[in-house]
Amino acid sequence: MGITTQVLDREGVTATPGSAAKLIREVRAKTRRKFTAEDKIRIVLEGFRKEIPVSDLCRREGISSALYYSWLKDFMEAGKARLKGDSLRDATRSDVKGLREENARLKELVWVSRRCRFNS
């Protein structure tokens, strides 16, 4: 039994005929590196600085250039959405609370006016 088989046995993954694809998927899922949002931002901003070529940056970080450009696109879209949001007015909690209170008062007025109309 090789080292790989022993590791798989300890993790409860058994290799049966025809399960090679499943085994590969499970191993890739367990060993896949997950980047935090801060890591993605750091890498994209480092690419913006253009101190080193993007290909070297990707090689150093262990990512594909396609993944880098995907993060770059997401970063740019998020920035564009945020800038659009600044030109529109974002409601604060106190604004929302005030609007809800006003809505409740108006509903009560409508209810009272309907009740008075039906009782007349």
Domain count, the chain: 3
Q: 49 and 62: one domain?
A: yes
Per-residue exposure over 83-97, b if at least 16 CB sit within 10 Å of its own CB, e if not: eeeeeeeeeeeeeee
Look at residue 33 and tell me whether its pLDDT is greater than 50. yes
Q: 28 and 44: one domain?
A: no
Query: Stretch 64-88: mean pLDDT, rounded?
Result: 85
Query: How far apart are the C-alpha atoms of 48 and 42, rounded to whole Å?
Result: 10
Residue 37 corresponds to which tokens in the numbers above? 């949002």
Query: How far apart are the C-alpha atoms of 80 and 73, rounded to whole Å?
Result: 10
Task: Give the 3-state secondary structure of residue 49.
Answer: helix
Write down how long the chain is: 120
Q: 25 and 43: one domain?
A: no
Q: 26 and 45: one domain?
A: no
In whole numbers, what is the pLDDT of the chain averaged over residues? 82
Q: 43 and 71: one domain?
A: yes
Per-residue exposure over 50-82, b if at least 16 CB sit within 10 Å of its own CB, e if not: eeeebeebbeebebeeeebeebbeebeeeeeee
Query: How far apart are the C-alpha atoms of 97 and 78, rounded to whole Å?
Result: 27
Who has greater pLDDT, 10 or 54?
54
Q: 24 and 3: one domain?
A: yes
Element (H, E) at 87: helix 65-87
pLDDT at site 74: 93
pLDDT at site 1: 44
pLDDT at site 68: 95
Q: What is the CATH number of the domain that holds 49?
A: 1.10.10
Q: 15 and 28: one domain?
A: yes
Lowest pLDDT segment from 10-14, 43-47, 80-84, 88-92:
10-14
User: Domain containing 113: what range?
Assistant: 93-120
Look at residue 66 and tell me whether its pLDDT is greater than 90. yes
